[in-house]
Structure 1
């Protein structure tokens, strides 16, 4: 490398070549995440039109050839010439950085696209992009190759590999059809450039569906359709909600409610100095007054998980910002004041509320709408406008005080229940902290405080120790003889434990079986769960291979999912797989018989057919295990407990929100959805699997 460094070493990147050189500056990454960011830049343009009152339907098509198309019935991109450049509005939008209708010209009161680089960046990073605009009774069209306008020689089939001829002297916005005078809209189809994006980058249907659903919640009345043509059959998903963020909060919440959804609305104004483009084409610093509209939907449930989603002009801000800071401040200010006013009734004493105490069980959707918000970076993950914090704080605090001051019976009951929940969370946190400070690791003296029915192991090595939760005392007796007492501990439970999805925390802790499991694992429960304090490296649920055993396993998994979820998230919860059948193959002469264990009916059928083909004899009838207690110790050790031979099923959570909804459906208080699920799924039931 040369030691000198002067102006001739500097590179000046013009226009879209800067985007292609440093795509990460504009879309974050060049993997699937960046690919999805590009798609949402195009979709958000259509959503901004819907927010401005133009167009109520958006259609997104994932084509089989890898391209994606976004269609709307909004005003359509302007097709007339832009005065300063002389180019059509379509070409300006798709080829010029920091150009668009969202810089205070009055076209949009509040929008998500604020830097004017969205469509042009997508165009720069696309091998081909086609845009069609219905406007003024005509359909206008233009094509681009890696950001350069021109014409593709398609021969009837659109493909990015078609011969391309760039415009040389001037660009042409072609007229390709006629439409009704009042018909307007825009269609954008593009093929992502594989020179830019990684080989495995792909449009993620699940992520697209999730965000489309979210957008439909945030813009009441907007219909969004997703058509995925990449499979054998096209799949269409459609979203349209009229309830807005109240309905969104209900959707996000999975636990039974302590309060209904509360809606907190208001607005405030602030001034800021911004550069404004004059008619003469110069930028002049001008003090302008802005309005910030705040709309919050929140509800508390009896769980301890917190779900807060924040948005600015319907753009998600996953890392928060000044609006979320204002929400937290307003919430804490009012709740702390209410607890202090009711300290005697709530028996608070001298303890102080923590933020986590208030947020436990909270589901909230925080939205603000304002013109030209300041984001940190093009990916718009953090709101930076300073004045928004004070406005949100004031709106949230004022609306919450009105709610607590309400004399309506329902409001008074819910406010009282909320304060009791918050104080209970505070006391649980303080108790857990005290317990944690005095708790010591397992030793011989500590064993006396554990449940008497625990059959503990000798080793203190957490990583290699295992806790078997055993169904019934009969199985416990066999398991004692089958286990490795150095590393394997046993905890018997009696029948089916409490369904903690329906029960309160107090009921759960008051249940002997649940309390024993939490005490034996030794890491606490709920928000105070500390996985580093867990006394066993693996927890293995060992229940019978029948319907009752499956129900017991589900109840235990519900307990772990709600109150000890980190154990599942770190892959430390397992289900044992005991055999269903024992086949004894008889050998002639003095050769000992061979034992084969099978774990399903199809496996048994396959083994028996294989033995018949080889003319091998086996004892009849085949032994079918009805429960673990029917095995002797050697059989249980070989099939279920010995790490050298056993099979374990690891319990995992690929999608915590979806898992929460399934647990609430199957185990929650609402009977009607569960009944509907059972009726709808009845046709898929295999009657042969019923153990009766």
Structure 2
């Protein structure tokens, strides 16, 4: 009998073997099968060289980025053991390069091989080899040079032992690994130069005095960059603070011994921290066993707890708080704090193989106590600096609270969709609730409101008058923008809220396109200089506060005719000089009266309907997604802070606009 298509039975279970354990599931080891995972595979090889150097074997590590996407890491360490291992009854190269969970770092807590190690699980070297198109390894140790060649996870050296061994200088030791990540494993192997410069700089910071050399191939030439911080994190914090330092750089270090749980093994921790407070700029970075903890974990929790506790205690003891004032938060402190911790432990619990956070309970407890003790002493011995810190933290706190109150007031002011007509002065709504039909005309002034109101189709067309020239939203800050009644009224009428695409103002974002009450937002202003300027300012507001409306094609400009041409009892409208010429040619020999079109407020209701509001005869210019960037660039040039660029543009193009200038 044929097996059912979806039958799930005993023969359905299978396991991955050998290199397939990594090649088919690289994300399990490297966190991703994309570029980030490929980058992490590089760090796995680099970390082995760093562990060697930190143990005192070698003072320089060289990383080469080749044009073909391959990578080479060379150190001056002891060299990876290659030959026969009698305990395991296998060659060491097999254990290191072809066996997951094998390596020389499982006895670290007993002081063997590596006391404080980046690598822990015996996964990195093997996993990187398995995920490579090829890998060439050269090892110098014990007076010999060993060479190995792997392809797609298999040893292809071609000798019975699996390596080629030749005598060399007895003094030369180290390991050179050259490999190319496999596109069959990773979706992208084009690791950018920025990744290497960032990683090597960070490693130079946390490995004081260790030299990292980056060689980047460009054509047939190699450009070399060297990274070295002789005093490690102290030099780095000083560099970050620059001339904006509010206090001197403090550096503390200590050793502790403990356990994560009563029934767990005891281990050692080396703690170090450098910090200062700054008038401008802030940074907190955490490293453990020289791995950058992007997500922090235990040390981040410790720093938060210690600094809040110590600074809050100082503020209370010195009567710095105002009556009934709330306690400082870590954000208030972090906004002026430049801090780097660089800790090591003989046992480390990472959240996963990518090593972006650690979870050791004892590391957190020891770091918290260590920082609290040193901060208390620092504040006692350096009262001037302590007072500067207290003052700056309180400024940050009160600014944050003021901004939060403003944000809540803005949210309250802009929220809600009921009774818009009652809350927004002079707004005239339409009858239909069908948003697929509703149109909002934003018109210039109260006079235009009257003629548009009479000339519209009140079933689906609403009118919102703008009184005068609104604020230039490119130059104004958000506090000023949201205190402007015209702008807040417009936002409330539109109904979709605002989107502010900057990190500093992300709390102001409350944009919801589904809340937009209109199918078309039509800007309708006079065809003169003032009208053009008001139109531009309204578009600027929409571009800065809700650019999605432009990108999604909801925003239009209503063209107003430039000329009224009357012949007998009939009136013709021309929207430009070319149209005027066509109409005059058609009426050749007849008596005509030509005049510039009146402002919107002077138009009769039937004329407003015919020229501007009737869907069958009006002319609307849709602001398309393709126009958005060009519009943004022009706004920045004409309304932004680039004074020299604006002068240059006016000098080159100003003559084109002389006809529009108000020159008597």
Q: Is TM more than 0.5 here? A: yes
Q: Quote how far apart the aligned CAs of 1:87 are.
A: 4.8
C-alpha contact (below 8 Å) 1:298/1:365 kept by paired residues: no
Separation of aligned partners in 2, 1:47 and 1:570? 52
Q: Quote how far apart the aligned CAs of 1:516 are.
A: 4.6
Q: Write the deviation string for residues 284-311 of structure 1: whole angstroms up to 9, x where unpaired.
A: x9944422424243545557xx753322
Partner of 1:532: 510
TM-score scaled by length of structure 2: 0.65
Separation of aligned partners in 1, 2:54 and 2:620? 59
C-alpha contact (below 8 Å) 1:76/1:185 kept by paired residues: yes
The answer to whether 1:266 aligns with 2:253 is yes
Aligned length: 548
Partner of 2:124: 118
Partner of 1:504: none
Partner of 2:564: none
Residue 127 of structure 1 aligns to a residue whose secondary structure is strand
Cα RMSD (Å) of the superposition? 5.7
C-alpha contact (below 8 Å) 2:499/2:510 kept by paired residues: no
Match of 2:184 among 195, 203, 206: 195
Separation of aligned partners in 1, 2:498 and 2:34? 38
Q: Quote how far apart the aligned CAs of 1:121 are.
A: 0.8
Residue 54 of structure 1 aligns to a residue whose secondary structure is coil
Partner of 2:74: 71
The answer to whether 1:44 aligns with 2:47 is yes
Q: Quote how far apart the aligned CAs of 1:314 are.
A: 1.6
Residue 214 of structure 1 aligns to a residue whose secondary structure is helix
Tell me: CA distance 1:405–1:374, structure 2 relative to 1, closer, same or farther (3 Å): same
Partner of 1:660: none
Separation of aligned partners in 1, 2:246 and 2:137? 48
Q: Quote how far apart the aligned CAs of 1:197 are.
A: 2.4
Separation of aligned partners in 2, 1:349 and 1:54? 58
Match of 1:25 among 3, 23, 28: 28
Tell me: CA distance 1:528–1:339, structure 2 relative to 1, closer, same or farther (3 Å): farther
Q: Quote how far apart the aligned CAs of 1:132 are.
A: 0.9
Tell me: CA distance 1:85–1:324, structure 2 relative to 1, closer, same or farther (3 Å): same
Partner of 1:219: 207
Partner of 1:395: 370
Q: Within 5 Å, which residues of 2 pair with 1:290-689?
A: 290-297=268-275, 299-301=277-279, 307-343=283-319, 345-429=320-404, 432-433=407-408, 436=411, 440-441=415-416, 443=420, 447=424, 492=469, 516=484, 526=504, 529-532=507-510, 643=623, 647-649=627-629
Partner of 1:171: 162
C-alpha contact (below 8 Å) 2:146/2:163 kept by paired residues: no
Separation of aligned partners in 1, 2:206 and 2:428? 54
Separation of aligned partners in 2, 1:362 and 1:109? 31
Residue 18 of structure 1 aligns to a residue whose secondary structure is helix
Q: Quote how far apart the aligned CAs of 1:191 are.
A: 2.2
Q: Write the deviation string for residues 242-293 of structure 1: whole angstroms up to 9, x where unpaired.
A: 4533454566679x9573465352335233499xxxxxxxxxx994442242
Partner of 2:657: none
TM-score scaled by length of structure 1: 0.62
Q: Quote how far apart the aligned CAs of 1:440 are.
A: 4.0
Q: Please identify, of 334-343 and 20-29, the stretch whose mean Cα deviation from structure 2 is larger.
A: 334-343
The answer to whether 1:128 aligns with 2:164 is no
Separation of aligned partners in 1, 2:99 and 2:468? 68
Tell me: CA distance 1:466–1:402, structure 2 relative to 1, closer, same or farther (3 Å): farther
* Larger Rg computed on CA atoms: 2
Q: Quote how far apart the aligned CAs of 1:467 are.
A: 14
Q: Write the deviation string for residues 530-574 of structure 1: whole angstroms up to 9, x where unpaired.
A: 211699999x9xxxxxxxx9xxx9xx99xx8xxx9xx79999899
Q: Quote how far apart the aligned CAs of 1:50 are.
A: 2.6
Q: Quote how far apart the aligned CAs of 1:447 are.
A: 4.9
Partner of 1:109: 115
Q: Please identify, of 434-443 and 289-298, the stretch whose mean Cα deviation from structure 2 is larger.
A: 434-443
Q: Quote how far apart the aligned CAs of 1:26 are.
A: 1.1
Separation of aligned partners in 2, 1:185 and 1:422? 53
Separation of aligned partners in 1, 2:434 and 2:338? 39
Q: Quote how far apart the aligned CAs of 1:651 are.
A: 10
C-alpha contact (below 8 Å) 2:238/2:249 kept by paired residues: no
- Gaps of at least 5 residues in structure 2 are 443-451, 453-460, 492-496, 524-532, 556-575, 586-610, 612-617, 633-639, 653-664
Q: Quote how far apart the aligned CAs of 1:212 are.
A: 2.4
Separation of aligned partners in 1, 2:548 and 2:207? 34
Tell me: CA distance 1:533–1:37, structure 2 relative to 1, closer, same or farther (3 Å): closer
Tell me: CA distance 1:191–1:533, structure 2 relative to 1, closer, same or farther (3 Å): closer
Q: Quote how far apart the aligned CAs of 1:137 are.
A: 4.3
C-alpha contact (below 8 Å) 1:56/1:222 kept by paired residues: yes
Separation of aligned partners in 1, 2:226 and 2:648? 37
Residue 351 of structure 2 aligns to a residue whose secondary structure is coil
Separation of aligned partners in 2, 1:229 and 1:383? 35
Q: Write the deviation string for residues 456-506 of structure 1: whole angstroms up to 9, x where unpaired.
A: 9989999999999xxxxxxxxxxx9xxx99689798578999898xxxxxx
Partner of 1:184: 173
Separation of aligned partners in 2, 1:461 and 1:433? 31
C-alpha contact (below 8 Å) 2:210/2:228 kept by paired residues: yes
C-alpha contact (below 8 Å) 1:267/1:391 kept by paired residues: no
Separation of aligned partners in 2, 1:287 and 1:247? 35
Tell me: CA distance 1:185–1:339, structure 2 relative to 1, closer, same or farther (3 Å): same
Residue 648 of structure 1 aligns to a residue whose secondary structure is helix
Match of 1:85 among 83, 88, 93: 88
Q: Quote how far apart the aligned CAs of 1:133 are.
A: 1.8
Separation of aligned partners in 1, 2:32 and 2:135? 20
Q: Quote how far apart the aligned CAs of 1:67 are.
A: 1.9
Tell me: CA distance 1:263–1:72, structure 2 relative to 1, closer, same or farther (3 Å): same
Partner of 1:94: 97
Q: Write the deviation string for residues 149-172 of structure 1: whole angstroms up to 9, x where unpaired.
A: 232xxxxxxxxxxxxx4x5x5333
Partner of 1:239: 227
Residue 182 of structure 1 aligns to a residue whose secondary structure is coil
C-alpha contact (below 8 Å) 1:88/1:173 kept by paired residues: no
Partner of 2:147: 141
Separation of aligned partners in 2, 1:386 and 1:317? 16
